[in-house]
Amino acid sequence: LLLRAGICTFYTNTFLNWRPPRVSHKVTHRQSARLGSGIKLPCPVEGDPPPLIMWTKDGRNIHSGWVRFRFLRMGLKIKEVEADDAGTYICKATNGFGSVNINYTLIVIGKSEICLFIDYTICVCPVRPRFSEPTKMRKRVIARPVGSSVRLKCAASGTPPPDIEWLKDDLPLSDHEVGEGRQKKWTLSLRNLSPEQSGRYTCRVSNRAGEINATYKLEVIERTNSKPILTGTHPVNTTVDYGGTTSLQCKVRSDVKPVIQWLKRVESNEESRYNSTIEVGDHRFMVLPTGEVWSRPDGSYLNKLLISRAKEEDAGMYICLGANTMGYSFRSAFLTVLPDSKVPITTVFSATPTSLPWPVVIGIPAGIVFIFGTVLLWFCQSRKHCPPPTSTHPTKDCITSRNYEEYLSQQQLLLSQAALPPKLYPKIYTDIHTHTHSHVEGKVHQHQHIHFQC
């Protein structure tokens, strides 16, 4: 009984000493480290039984595969800090009675940067401004006709967020100079331009880390009443694969919105294929459907002719015609459609010399061979049974001893045995020659020669 009581007391005291993990002392949740240096994130927790420690970064478990990270008894050490090491780290301690977390925010700064703490959790390092959309700022010299519009862009970024100021001819831009336009954060829009708005426009972007600027030269051109002018090199000669898609462009500069029309020349042998054509000079043209005419910021107008699933009849000369009340201008281009590489496969069947079924076609040559063999065999057997010539026997040849009518009856019997159509029976032609020889002794011999031919 005393032994049992002692064991119960031991386990009861041990169970009463077990407790969930807890943080043993206060930690700084905001940590910073310079590039290339090392840092230790402590995890001072205690509990009974000893808790199991697990580290995560931005929700991902840190494991032994992270070569620059080393697990300590009560913390995590990071060697040669990199920029990607910045983030949120959590130390989670767990045993059978509970768990506790310690969160850290790690800021990585450059070797020569000064970190500015905005509040207790965020550290911001100044970054010099830079233009975030440089491709939209390539054209710095701009010409616009009177009454048109223009947009000048200077989108930029930096840390802290930079401020922007617009200048005209190195002086702050006034509301009067903006006119009917508007000044957004990163874009200056000028509308209904007048000649007085020509000049140099500069955007100045700055923050605590530095300043950048960009200058545009704007020239507002007074309008003159003139016919449209096709600008650039479009439309240009184009080649397209059979079944492919291409387009022809037409740029027209005009004081007022022009009418842009596409025409295709109709060859003399194709006029009957089209319902309506127009005559221009010595040629006839077909009027093609025209899509939308787009107004461009430079004061010109653009239209595209789309050709999809190109065929051979799409090849030829195309004309872009731009017209307004003062006249018209046009320019031509040729479209070439390459031949179809997929040549259709035509099956050629050899002509059959006869429409007879194949058993008959095979039986005819076989029957002829059979008849010829029978005749040859009969001839050899007749020669074999001929008696040798003697003075007592007639001197006629043995083959003449057979009656000709008897021979013909045998041939008819042989032909009847061959199961061939009557119209295909071969014919046997015979030729009988009789020769008479006179000898000195006064003897006369006659010979008959029979020739057979199928």
- Terminal Cα-to-Cα distance of the chain (whole angstroms): 136
Task: Quote the CA–CA distance of 144 and 298 in Å, as a whole number.
Answer: 6
Give CATH for domain 19-109: 2.60.40.10
Instruction: List 158's β-bridge partners, or say none.
Output: none
* Per-residue pLDDT at 108: 83
Instruction: Give the span between the Cα atoms of 214 and 305, in whole angstroms.
Output: 37
pLDDT for 16-66, tens place per residue? 578 889 998 888 888 888 888 889 999 999 888 889 999 999 989 998 888
User: What is the CB neighbour count within 10 angstroms for residue 356?
Assistant: 14
- Assign residue 327 a region: left if phi > 0, alpha if psi is -120 to 50, beta otherwise? left
Q: DSSP secondary structure string, 303-334?
A: EEEEE-S--GGG-EEEEEEEEETTEEEEEEEE
Give the pLDDT of residue 94: 92
Name beta bridge partners: 106.
31, 87
Q: Which of 103, 95, 18, 90 is nearest to 54 (CA)?
A: 90
* Cis peptide bond prior to 235, omega within 30° of 0: yes
Q: Give the pLDDT confidence score for residue 341 in this predicted structure.
A: 77
- Secondary structure (3-state) at 373: helix
Q: What CATH number was assigned to the domain covering residues 229-338?
A: 2.60.40.10
Q: Which ranges of 70-138 does DSSP label H, i.e. alpha helix?
A: none
Other beta carbons within 10 angstroms of residue 279's beta carbon come to 9
Predicted pLDDT of residue 78: 93
What is the dihedral sign for C-alpha 272, 275, 279, 285? negative
Dist CA 388 CA 212 (whole Å): 135
Q: What angle do CA 295, 301, 305 make, to 5 degrees?
A: 110
Residue 326 · residue 268 · CB < 8 Å: no
Residues β-bridged to residue 86:
none
H-only helix segments in 114-197: 175-178
Residues 6+ apart with CB under 8 A from 85: 33, 78, 106, 108
> Which CATH number is associated with domain 127-221?
2.60.40.10
Where in the chain is CATH 2.60.40.10? 19-109, 127-221, 229-338
The answer to whether the CB of 204 falls within 8 A of the CB of 164 is yes
* Number of Cβ within a 10 Å radius of residue 150: 21
From the first residue on, what is the mean pLDDT of each consecutive set of 10 residues in the chain (454 residues)?
47 64 88 87 90 91 89 89 88 90 86 49 68 89 85 89 91 75 79 90 91 93 77 88 90 83 82 69 81 79 89 88 84 90 55 57 77 78 57 45 53 54 47 52 52 52
Give residue 181's pLDDT: 61
DSSP 217-284: EEEEEPP-----EE-SS-S--EEE-TT--EEEEEEEE-SSPPEEEEEEEEPGGGGGG-S--EEETTEE
The closest alpha carbon to 159, from 134, 125, 115, 185, belongs to 125
Q: How far apart are CA 21 and CA 45, in angstroms?
A: 6
Q: Which of 234, 227, 230 is nearest to 255 (CA)?
A: 227
Please report how the helices 404-417 and 358-384 are oriented relative to each other, as an axis angle in degrees rounded to 10: 150
Contact 151, 187 (CB under 8 A): yes
Give dist(CA 63, CA 72) in Å, integer.
Answer: 13
Give the three-class secondary structure for 391.
coil
